Structure 1
C-alpha cells in the first residue's frame, strides 16, 4: 500500500514538474520582435506610458520631421501597430498554453447503502495520458506558430514604416509642386495683366488678350489643385502617424537625388527571400504543419488515453486504492481523415510559399526597373532639361533687353522653365517612392546612398530685370 501511495504522489507531481518548463515569452514577445526588426534596420520603441509617449512625440514635432522621425512617431501611435502587438501577445499566450498539460480532473462518487450494507465513498484523479505523451510535439507546433506570428507582426510594422515613408515623400513632393504651381500661376497672372495693358494701348488684339487670360486662369486652377493635393498628402501622413486631429508639424523642404548609384539587382535578390518576414512567417507555418502531420499520425492509434488513480472507502474502515487506464479504441474512426487533412494543409502551405517566393522575385525585378527608370528621368531633368530651360530664359532676357523679342516670349520661356522644374520635382518623388517600394520588396532597407545632390533651385517668381523690362515695355 505504501508503494502505491508513493507512485500516486509522483504521478500527481509530474504535471507540475512539466508545466514549470513552460512560461510566457518576456514582454509579450516584444523582445523577439525587436530582434527581427533591428536585423532589418528598424528599431522598435520601448513600451511607454501614454504621458511619456505624448512628451516624446511633442519633442519630435518641435523641429521639422525627417522621414525616420515620422516613422518613429507612427511606431508609437499608429493603431495598426498596436493591433500587431496584441496579435503577438495572443501567439505568446498560445505558446504558454501549449507547453502545459491540461489540468487533472478530480471525481468524487458516493454510493448510499441500505441498513444491511454500508455507504461507499470513492475518490478519483485522472490525467490525459495523450497530453503527457505528446507534450513536446505540441510545444513545437506552438513554438513554430509563435515564430510565424512574430515574423508576421514584424512584417506589419515594416509595411506601416514603408507606408509612412511613401506618404512622407508624397507630401514633400506635393509641397514642392504646390510651390512651383503657385509661381507658374504668378507668372501667368503677370502675363495676363501685361496683356491687358497692351490691349488697352492698342498693341495687341482681343484674341491675344483672351489667350493670355485663359492661360492665367488655367495656371490658377492648377495651383489650387496642387494645394489641395498637398493638403491631402499631409492628412494621409497625419493619419499614419496616429494623430486623431490636425497636428502642428512640418517636414523638410525638398527632395534630393543621391550621387551614388543604386545597389545592383543581383545583390538585392540574393538576400530578399531570406529577409522577407512574410516568407519567414510562411516557413515557420510549414514547420508547424510538419510537426502537426507527425502528431496526427501518432494520434491515430492513441487518442483520448487517460490515466487515473482511485481510492475507495467503505464502512468498517475498509479502503481500496489502485490505478486505471482508459483508451479510445480506433474501431469506427482510425484517424485517417485527420492525417489526410494535415497532409493536405502541409502541401497547400508549401505551394503557397513557392507562389509567394515567385511573386517576390518578379516584383523585385519590376521594382528595380521602376527605380532605374525613375532615376534616369530625374537625372535627365536635373542635368539637362532644367539647366537648358534656365539658359533659354537668360538668353531670352538678353534679346528682350535689346528689343529683339517681346515680353510675352520671355514670359513663355520663364513658364517653360517652371514647368520643367515642376516635372523634375515629380520625377524626384517618383524615384524615392520607387526606392521605398523596392526596399519593402527586398525585406528591409536598401544599401545606403549619400543624398548630396540637392534638387535644382526653384526659379524666382519674377526677377528684378524681368519686372523692370515689363514696366519699360508697357511704357513703350
Structure 2
C-alpha cells in the first residue's frame, strides 16, 4: 500500500506544470496575435503596481495631446478594466489546467468504518480504488483541460480585437463629428454676413420682409446644425474616452479636426474570405468546442471531413466504392475550404453526446458561412466606400470650386448679387459635408475589414 502515493506523485506532468503555473500563462499567444491583427500591444496587469504603471503610461500618451487612432487603441488595450477582467478568465483556465497537470494529490489515509479486520480492509480497498481511478482518468481530464485552456486564449484574443476595433471606430466617429462641426462653423460666418446684409436692405426698403426672413432662417438653421454637430462630437469623444478607460484629469486630450485623406492606392483584399476562415477567433473557438464535446462524450474514430457549405446545406459526404474497392469521400467543391471533422456516432450509447456534437458542428458550419459573407461584405464596403468618397473628392468638389470662381467673377463684375454668391456657398458647404461623410464611411469600412478578418464588432456602415 505504501506504493500508492509514489504512483500518484509520478502522474504529475512537470513540463505542463511549468508552462501553466507562470504568471500570465497563455497570454504570450494573445499578445502576439493582437500585435499582428491590430498593430498594438496587448498588456496584462497582474498587480496593483502593473495597473498604476499602465495608467501612468496612458496618461503620458494622451494628456494635453492630439491622439491618432493607433494611440487610442494602444491606450484602450492597456487601460480598459473590462478587458483586464476578461483576461482573468484566461488565468482561471490556466489554474484549472495546472491543477489537473499536478495529478492526484499523493496522500494516503485510512478511515475505519467498521469494527475489526473486515472494516479496515474495506476502507483500505476504497481508498486505493479511488486513487487508482483518479490516476486512470488523468489523461482524458488533462486533454479536456488543455482544450479549455486553448479556448480561453482565443476568447481573450477575441475580446482584445473587439475592443481595438470598437475604439478605432469611436475615434473615427469623434473626428468625423468635429470635422462636420468645423465645416458648418466655417459657413456660419458667410451666413451671418448675409443675414446682416438682409437686415440693412430691409431698413432701406430694398428687401421685403419675406426675403429677409429667408436669409435669417438659413442662419438660424445653420446655428442649430452647428450646435447639433458639436454635441455629436462631444458625445463621440466621450465614448472614445470611456473605451480608453480614462477619467479625471486624464480626459484632457484632443482628436484631430479632420480625418486623414483617402489613401492613394485603392483598398481591398482579394483573399479576404480565406483570411477570415484562417484567422477568425469565433471559428477557432467553435472548432475547439467540437473537441470538447468529443472528449466529454468519448467520441472517437474521426471518419471524414466535410466543408461548412456542405454541412449547412444538409449534405452528408457521399461515399462511393471505387473499382479497386477503396472507399472515397465526395464533398461539395468550394473555392475556399473550411472543413469540419465528423466522428462516427453510430455506436454512441448516450444519445445526448451525438446530438450535442452535431448541434455544435452545425453551429460552427453556419458561423463559417456567416464569416464568409461578412468578409465579402466588408470587402465590397471598403472598395465601394472608397469609390464614393473618391468621386466626391475628384469630381464633385472640383466642379463646385469652378462654380464658386465663376460666381465670384460675376459678382465682381456686378452681374450677380451677394445673395446669389451666398447661395453658391451654401451648396458648396453641402458638397464638402457630403465628402467628409463619405470619407468617414470609408475609414469605418476599413475598421470593419479588420473585424471581419479577425473577429470583432462590425456594422460601422449600417
3-state SS of 2:109 partner: strand
Rg: which structure is higher?
1
In 1: Cα distance, 2:188 partner to 2:410 partner: 24
Matched, 1:106 2:109: yes
How many residue pairs end up in the alignment? Answer: 395
Deviation at 1:111, TM superposition (A): 6.3
Partner of 2:8: 15
Partner of 2:256: 252
Judge conservation of contact 2:190–2:422 (CA < 8 Å) in 1.
Answer: yes
Partner of 1:357: 368
In 1: Cα distance, 2:263 partner to 2:21 partner: 43
Give the structure-1-normalised TM-score. Answer: 0.77
After superposition, the Cα gap between the structure-2 partners of 1:295 and 1:9, relative to the gap in structure 1 and judged at 3 Å, is farther
Q: Which has the higher contact order (CA 8 A, sep 6+)?
A: 1
In 1: Cα distance, 2:280 partner to 2:114 partner: 65
Counterparts of 1:457-472 in structure 2, within 5 Å, are none
Counterparts of 1:186-205 in structure 2, within 5 Å, are 186-205=189-208
Deviation at 1:60, TM superposition (A): 0.3
In 2: Cα distance, 1:66 partner to 1:88 partner: 30
Give the structure-2-normalised TM-score. Answer: 0.80
3-state SS of 1:411 partner: helix
Deviation at 1:216, TM superposition (A): 0.9
3-state SS of 1:204 partner: coil
Judge conservation of contact 1:74–1:240 (CA < 8 Å) in 2.
Answer: yes
Partner of 2:308: none
After superposition, the Cα gap between the structure-2 partners of 1:444 and 1:110, relative to the gap in structure 1 and judged at 3 Å, is closer
In 1: Cα distance, 2:72 partner to 2:176 partner: 16
Judge conservation of contact 2:42–2:78 (CA < 8 Å) in 1.
Answer: no
Counterparts of 1:213-228 in structure 2, within 5 Å, are 213-228=216-231
After superposition, the Cα gap between the structure-2 partners of 1:20 and 1:365, relative to the gap in structure 1 and judged at 3 Å, is closer
What 5-or-longer segments of structure 1 have no aligned partner? 1-7, 298-335, 446-476
Per-residue Cα deviation, 1:204-229 (whole angstroms, up to 9, x for no partner): 11110011111111111111100110
Partner of 1:431: 442
After superposition, the Cα gap between the structure-2 partners of 1:415 and 1:196, relative to the gap in structure 1 and judged at 3 Å, is same
Deviation larger for 66-75 or 285-294: 285-294
What 5-or-longer segments of structure 2 have no aligned partner? 302-346, 457-462
In 2: Cα distance, 1:347 partner to 1:98 partner: 28
Q: CA RMSD in A?
A: 2.5
Judge conservation of contact 1:141–1:289 (CA < 8 Å) in 2.
Answer: no
After superposition, the Cα gap between the structure-2 partners of 1:130 and 1:254, relative to the gap in structure 1 and judged at 3 Å, is same
3-state SS of 1:252 partner: coil
After superposition, the Cα gap between the structure-2 partners of 1:345 and 1:119, relative to the gap in structure 1 and judged at 3 Å, is closer
After superposition, the Cα gap between the structure-2 partners of 1:152 and 1:46, relative to the gap in structure 1 and judged at 3 Å, is closer
Deviation at 1:245, TM superposition (A): 4.6
Matched, 1:262 2:267: yes
In 2: Cα distance, 1:272 partner to 1:296 partner: 29
Deviation at 1:9, TM superposition (A): 2.8
Counterparts of 1:2-401 in structure 2, within 5 Å, are 8-21=1-14, 22-23=16-17, 24-26=20-22, 27-40=24-37, 41-45=39-43, 47=45, 49-62=50-63, 63-103=65-105, 106-109=109-112, 124=124, 125-126=127-128, 127-245=130-248, 247-255=251-259, 256-264=261-269, 266-294=270-298, 339-401=350-412
